[in-house]
Amino acid sequence: MTDEPPAYVLDTGPLSHFAKAQWLGVLKTVLKEHRVCIPDIVREEVRQGIPHHPHLRSVLDETPWIEVVPLDTEAQLSAFSHYAKRLVGPDGRNAGECGVLALAETTPGAIAVIDDRVATEAIRGRPVVVRRTLGLLCEAIRAGLLTVPLVSALADDLLESRYRIPFGTGGFAAWAEAQGLL
Amino acid sequence: MGIGRRVAEARAEQGVTQEQLAVAVGLERSALAKIETEKRRLSALELVAIARELKRRVEWFVDDAPPALVSYRRAHPDVATQAIDLRLDELVRETEFVVSCIPGLISGQPEPLPHPTTAAEAEEMADTARRLLGLGPADPAHNIAGLAAALGLLIFSLDLGEGADAGTVLLERGGVTLVNGSRMVGRRRLAAAHELGHYLIADEYALDWRIASSEADGLEARLDRFARALLLPESDLRTRWARWTNAPDESWRDAAVRAASHYRVDMATLARRLKELRLVEHSRAEDIRQVQTRRADIVEKDLVVSDELAPASLPRAYEQAVLALYRREAVTEGRALGLLLGTFDSASLPELPPVPGSEIWTVTS
């Protein structure tokens, strides 16, 4: 056992959401006690996404605190292959998520931050811990780093694109309030 | 075999030089050479690029090949890899993955039957196979892929152009057959029946060229005989042939058209079967071989037209298993479409239901 705080391994999706809202600094503050890394394959996805999503440039330019880790050991490639079998189709999408899960799985005490439901299904029976972006955002509210209206706006975006949870746009704040979540 | 060696193997199969591959994936040629000789590790990022360039899935480089593929390769080191080999390899791995998630996809697999050593034993084997398939004495073996799936053999058909008629690989449990869909329907069904023969005698790996050719000998010829007997069971064919040839106002040609349609076989197969059962003489068999079913025959005789195993065709049970994986979100949409070999598009997939509200706890905690 180690007393070191867990490392967080970030996926392209969460990074993109934070970059779009210009909250990379907030993310840094939220995770300041932790080692934060991305696999090289996620950095490549971010790089390739810049022409269509210019806000991603800040992920490359403004995050010296994020460590880029190549996946090249046998264990990492084996884990990568396991996830690719479930997530990657002929178009090659989701390779980044496979990299995140493989890195988190092979880094002691690491936590993957990943939003895709299939990705979280794919970890069944695997020694890897996953958290979702929404969880990090709620934590940031509790830490006084973000306000509910700001998170609500981002939550809407997340809920629409990722979670398919049946409450409408703008519903997060009221829901979270009612649940005593915040 | 390590990943680097597999890179070299896949590169050779695609007929690409080290230089060409290195340029395509943005590596120095010397770096690629070191990767291939396993003096340098490669990263997932490089592997993804190489896999894309060599038209292989990433898993192909990392995971061990299924045992039947390994022993076949070992036994035939000098045989050039055909398109059908590559597709079979892919299908076997994809099927094994789907089966690992949904074991029920492979249902009952019968005990291996003995190799037929004579034509009579091939006929007996066909009788046994028909019983295993649940066919009554007078039932034509329609939808052979559906029938075979019940015995654990998954039959796919893909357009492979020129090349082998079919191939079969035995899995740990069950088997996978790939039929060359470029052939006509009768030939495809005959090939499927022949492959079922290989499967039932538990041949680990079979690659078949020119099924039902006069050049075949030994086991292949006996499995051809098995296939014909399976599709054209002797006693039923005798009865029907007598009835059709005795029908008033109909010629031997009409009888042939009816028989080919009823049993869904091509004229060459029908002619050969009639001849081996001594229902026709040599010259009549040759005449039947030349018969072509006309549109008028289909209308006047009210025949059912079937395009069984038209490429791309996947076993229904396999398609259902992939859709089940997609529904339970065990695979992504892209992966589901890949497993379905391009026979589906996004709009053809089922709509996923809303996620239960209780899940919000797992996403916010």
pLDDT digits (tens, 9 = 90+) for A46-60: 999 999 999 999 999
CA distance B194 to B221: 10
Segment B15-30 mean pLDDT: 96
A182 near B CB under 8 A: no
Average pLDDT, chain B: 93
Helices H / strands E in chain A, number of each: 10, 5
Asked if the Cβ–Cβ distance from B45 to A85 is below 8 Å, we say no
Shortest Cα distance, chain B CAs vs residue A115, angstroms: 8
Summarised one tens digit per residue, pLDDT across range A20-42 is 888 888 889 888 889 999 999 99
- What is the CATH code of the structural domain delimited by B1-63? 1.10.260.40
Work out how many CB contacts closer than 8 A connect A with B. Answer: 124
To the nearest 10 degrees (0 to 180), the angle between helices B18-25 and B29-36 is 110
The shortest C-alpha distance from B298 to chain A (Å) reads 41
Contacts of A134 in chain B (CB under 8 A): 360, 363-364
Is A89 close to B62, i.e. CB distance below 8 A? no
Q: Cβ of A118 and B330 within 8 Å?
A: yes
Best mutation target among A81, A114, A115, A117 (most B Cβ atoms within 10 Å) is A81
Give the per-residue pLDDT at A1. Answer: 46
**pLDDT value at A3 more than 80:** no
Residues 271-330 of B with CB under 8 A from A: 328-330
Chain segment A84-141, per-residue pLDDT in tens: 999 999 999 999 999 999 999 999 999 999 988 888 889 989 999 999 888 888 888 8
Model confidence at A165: pLDDT above 70: no
CATH 1.10.10.2910 segments of chain B? 65-231+307-364
Task: Answer yes or no: do A88 and B365 touch at CB < 8 A.
Answer: no
Could you give the ipTM of this predicted complex? 0.90
Q: Which carries the bigger pLDDT value, residue B186 or residue A154?
A: B186
Mean pLDDT throughout B45-57?
A: 95
Q: Is B41 on the interface with A (CB under 8 A)?
A: yes
pLDDT at A164 over 70: no
At residue B357, does pLDDT exceed 80? no
Which residues in chain A are contacts of B329 at CB distance < 8 A? Answer: 117-118, 121
User: pLDDT digit string (tens) for B313-350?
Assistant: 999 999 999 999 999 999 999 999 999 999 999 999 99
What pLDDT is stored for residue B82 in this prediction? 83
Q: CATH 1.10.260.40 in chain B: give the residue spans.
A: 1-63
Catalogue all structural domains in chain A, each as residue range(s) with its CATH number. Answer: 8-131 (3.40.50.1010), 134-179 (no CATH)
Q: What is the pLDDT of residues B142-192, one digit of tens each?
A: 999 999 999 999 999 999 998 899 999 999 999 999 999 999 999 999 999
Q: Tell me which fold the domain B65-231+307-364 belongs to.
A: Arc Repressor Mutant, subunit A (1.10.10)
Of B61, B97, B359, the CB nearest to A85: B97
Task: Name chain A contacts of B362, Cβ cutoff 8 Å.
Answer: 132
How does strand B205-208 pair with strand B166-170? antiparallel
For the stretch B245-295, pLDDT in tens is 999 999 999 999 999 999 999 999 999 999 999 999 999 999 999 999 999
Q: Given CB atoms, is B50 within the 8 Å cutoff of chain A? A: no
Compute the average pLDDT of residues A147-170: 74
Question: pTM value?
Answer: 0.92
Q: pLDDT tens digits, residue range B97-145?
A: 999 999 999 988 899 999 999 999 999 999 999 999 999 999 999 999 9
High-pLDDT (> 90) share of chain B, %: 83
